[in-house]
């Protein structure tokens, strides 16, 4: 299950992507607009900054902004940064492989190939979903439903 940390990270990054080009955005502004506890958001943004996804500027005109184009940030990256591997079991993880402790033989395991398919399909979907694509989808939904309000 996706953690609140990952979900909040996605929402914060979508907020920054939507405001790209307008300069840095204050944490309190993102927190209020996305209904994210400010202290929790601060720790999430620090992790995203350490990973190079966002950058910050101090001072009166300070805040956070994306360090790259929204087309280059996908949900797979965000999930891995916030929650760790996409794989449901460690023996099929591409980023955190380790043999299963209770499996006598990976080669004859009947569970592993199914979990590999799940990991591959999940990773493919998450990696295709970029911030840019999600914002474009939001715009098409807003255009199709005048008067509806969607929360990023």
**50-108, pLDDT tens digit by residue?**
999 999 999 888 899 999 999 999 999 999 999 999 999 999 998 899 988 888 888 89
Q: Which domain holds residue 39?
A: 4-66
89 three-class SS: coil
What's the CATH code of the domain at 42? Answer: 1.10.10.10
pLDDT of residue 143: 63
Domain count along the chain: 1
Alpha-carbon gap, residue 145 to 104, rounded angstroms: 54
Tell whether 90 is covered by a domain.
no
Tell whether 143 is covered by a domain.
no
Tell whether 139 is covered by a domain.
no
pTM for this structure? 0.86
Q: How confident is the model at residue 148 (pLDDT cuts 50, 70, 90)?
A: very low
The DSSP secondary-structure symbol of 101 reads T
Record the tokens describing residue 125, joined without a space.
């979907």
Tell whether 127 is covered by a domain.
no
Tell whether 25 is covered by a domain.
yes
Tell whether 59 is covered by a domain.
yes
Tell whether 141 is covered by a domain.
no
């Amino acid at each position: 299950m996706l953690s609140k940390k990952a979900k909040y990270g996605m929402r914060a990054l979508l907020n920054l992507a939507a405001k790209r080009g307008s300069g840095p955005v204050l944490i309190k502004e993102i927190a209020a607009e996305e209904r994210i506890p400010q202290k929790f958001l601060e720790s999430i943004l620090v992790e995203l900054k350490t990973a190079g996804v966002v950058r910050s500027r101090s001072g009166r005109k300070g805040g956070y902004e994306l360090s790259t184009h929204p087309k280059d940030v996908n949900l797979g990256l965000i999930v891995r940064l916030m929650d760790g591997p996409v794989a449901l079991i460690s023996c099929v993880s591409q980023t955190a492989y380790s043999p299963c402790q209770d499996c006598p033989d990976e080669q004859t395991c009947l569970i592993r190939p199914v979990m590999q398919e799940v990991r591959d399909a999940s990773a493919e979907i998450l990696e295709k979903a970029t911030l840019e694509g999600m914002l474009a989808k939001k715009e098409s939904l807003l255009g199709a439903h005048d008067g509806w309000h969607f929360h990023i």
